[in-house]
Amino acid sequence: MVAVKKAAVEKKGKVVLAYSGGLDTSVAIPWLMDQGYDVVTMTADVGQQADNMDEMNEKAIKTGAVSAHMLDLRDEMIDNFIWPGLKANALYEGIYPLNSAYSRPLIAQALISIAQQEGAVAIAHGCTGKGQDQVRIEVCANALDPSIQVLAPVRDWHMTREQEMEYAEKHNVPVPTTRMSPYSLDDNLWGRACECGVLEDPWNKPPKGAYGLTVDPLEAPDKPALVEITFEKGIPVAIDGKKMNSIKLIDHLNKLAGDHGVGRIDMVENRLVGFKSREVYECPAAVTLITAHKALETITLTKDVMRVKGDLDRKFSELAYEGCWFSPLMDAIQAFIDKTQETVSGTVRVQFYKGQAVVEGMKSPNAIYRYDLATYSEGDTFDHAASVGFIKVWGLPIKTWTQTHNKGKIVFKSSIKDSKLAQKKPPKA
Ligand code: ARG
């Protein structure tokens, strides 16, 4: 075979690559260089369980990057994504706490900000063409700075695993030494997502190895644990009366609740990209905090605010899931939710036991729960007599309907077969 001399590639400028040190984003460095880019890497610490974080920059440079950035984004993640999500009791389709969904707009922010700093023309991510993480990163990046191009090497290169390994070897890419997981994993402070492999058949029970943060509820301690969580304006600030910074507080709850098997979620979700997928999540702190926060709202918010907020909470979750974090609707919804949280302060007591986090007590200086109105015992101040007129007016439209349409004669739709009847015997004559 005649060796073909490679044509010199046109120089394109800098690209900022979201780099995790895994195979895909490692191979992306020489691949982007082959396309004519100088590669700058950005690695984000969002609280994931990686033990080689401090070697990341060095590794990126060794692989060919011109510069490498390592950003601790944990506080950013909590203050700007996790706490707003908690205030919204955000659960996609009522179940998924959005852990992976929150980190993508944040990663997009970090990529764009480094790109501006470095004078880069593009950013790049390692998502495939099938997930929603690509949608989130790209929609968010375009919302932040449409002048910066977004590249998705893994989506474009059409290489199999084997070809990727070969490419890595040819380009002296240090291949990850950790064993490849049979799953696609993603984790941060708010939880862990596990998909693919045997989980793709929804009839299969997730194997033990699919879990990484929680104990099997069947093997959880026989003794329950109690925790008191204090909230200020919708945000948790103390555990068992002790003030705690946000990272510590979330870590603490992940450990304690996880040890009791709390936070396992196994669901089939409706993806934005059109198909359903089976997901296994572990979110001990998220499940605990959302449960407690929701409870605190029941004693601090009015019925009508709770109802409208419930609708907007659901919309918030959909926007977060679907990549619309930096949208005018999201801003407006967050402004509404923030207003509602002004009174959501107090303490909630939660019990962890065999996979369950159950609220067993709550109190608030702002409680609009009133003992004197609720009690059936001594001290009742509720005006019982006022109910008479209230019922008359409340039921009037329905009563009027029945009177107009003469429907009052049939009470049961079908006859009652098993009724028993006893009657007093008439006195003997
Ligand atoms: N399905 C979830 C979501 O879209 C989790 C995605 C996790 N990402 C991953 N690469 N495993 O939010």
| Residue span of the structural domain in which 133 resides | 13-170
For residues 164 and 260, membership in a common domain is answered with no
The CATH number of whichever domain residue 254 belongs to comes to 3.90.1260.10
Catalytic residue among 45, 184, 259, 314: 184
User: Does residue 18 share a domain with residue 133?
Assistant: yes
CA distances to 300, 336, 373, 384 from 381, in Å: 20, 34, 6, 9
- Give a yes or no: residue 375 inside a domain: no
Residues 189 and 158 in one domain: no
**Going by CA atoms, what residue is nearest to atom 1 of ligand 1?**
279
* pLDDT value of residue 4: 54
Domain-ending residue, one of 316, 333, 368:
368
Catalytic residue among 20, 74, 100, 104: 104
Same domain, 48 and 164: yes
Which CATH number goes with the domain that contains 140?
3.40.50.620
List 20, 24, 74, 100, catalytic entry:
24
Q: Would you call 39 exposed, middle or buried from its count of C-beta atoms within 10 A (0-12, 13-18, 19+)?
A: buried
| Ligand 1 geometric centre to CA of 321 (Å) | 10
Residues 117 and 196 in one domain: no
Active site residue 377: no
Check whether residue 194 and residue 248 sit in a common domain: yes
**Can you give the pLDDT of all 429 residues of the chain as single tens digits?**
455 556 678 999 999 999 999 999 999 999 999 999 999 999 999 999 987 888 999 999 999 999 999 999 999 999 999 999 999 999 999 999 999 999 999 999 999 999 999 999 999 999 999 999 999 999 999 999 999 999 999 999 999 988 999 999 999 998 776 677 899 999 999 999 999 999 999 999 999 999 999 999 999 999 999 999 999 999 999 999 999 999 999 999 999 999 999 999 999 999 999 999 999 999 999 999 999 999 999 999 999 999 999 999 999 999 999 999 999 999 999 999 999 999 999 999 999 999 999 999 999 999 999 999 999 999 999 999 999 999 999 999 999 988 898 766 777 778 778 888 899 998 887
The answer to whether 317 and 89 are in contact (CB under 8 A) is no
Shared domain check, 141 and 214:
no
Q: Interior CA angle at 420 toward 414 and 421, to 5°?
A: 110
Structural domain count, the chain: 2
Residue 384 domain-assigned? no
Q: Which pLDDT score, from 0 to 100, does residue 1 have?
A: 44
CA of 100 to the centre of ligand 1 (A): 6
199 CA to middle of ligand 1, Å? 13
Question: Active-site residue 314, yes or no?
Answer: no
Ligand 1 pocket mutation pick from 24, 96, 100, 269 by most atoms within 8 angstroms of CB: 100
In a domain? residue 324:
no
291 shares a domain with 166: no
The ligand 1 atom at the shortest distance from the C-alpha of residue 100 is 12
Residue 326 placed within a domain? no
Residue 389 domain-assigned (yes or no): no
The pLDDT value recorded for residue 407 is 64
Distance 194 CA to ligand 1 centre (A): 8
Give the closest residue (by CA) to ligand 1 atom 6.
Answer: 100
Q: Three-class SS of residue 123?
A: strand
The reported pLDDT for the residue numbered 159 is: 93
Q: Are residues 358 and 284 in the same domain?
A: yes
Distance, in Å, from the CA atom of 49 to the CA atom of 426, rounded to the nearest integer, reads 82
Supply the pLDDT for residue 5. Answer: 57
Answer yes or no: is 269 within a domain: yes
Domain presence at residue 396: no
Name the nearest CA neighbour of 125 among 115, 113, 114, 111. 111
Q: SS3 helix, strand, coil % of the chain, rounded to 5?
A: 40, 20, 40
Which residues are 225's β-sheet partners?
352
**Spacing, Cα 227 to ligand 1 middle (Å):** 30
Pocket of ligand 1, candidates 46, 99, 132, 133: which has the most ligand atoms within 8 Å of its Cβ, to mutate?
133
Residues 90 and 201 in one domain: no
Residues 223 and 275 in one domain: yes
Residue 167 CA to residue 380 CA, distance in Å, equals: 78
Q: What is the pTM of this model?
A: 0.94
51 belongs to the catalytic site = no
Task: Tell me whether residue 268 is in a domain.
Answer: yes
Nearest Cα neighbor of 231 from 69, 417, 61, 364 is 364
Question: Do both 156 and 20 map to the same domain?
Answer: yes
Domain end (from 139, 170, 201)? 170
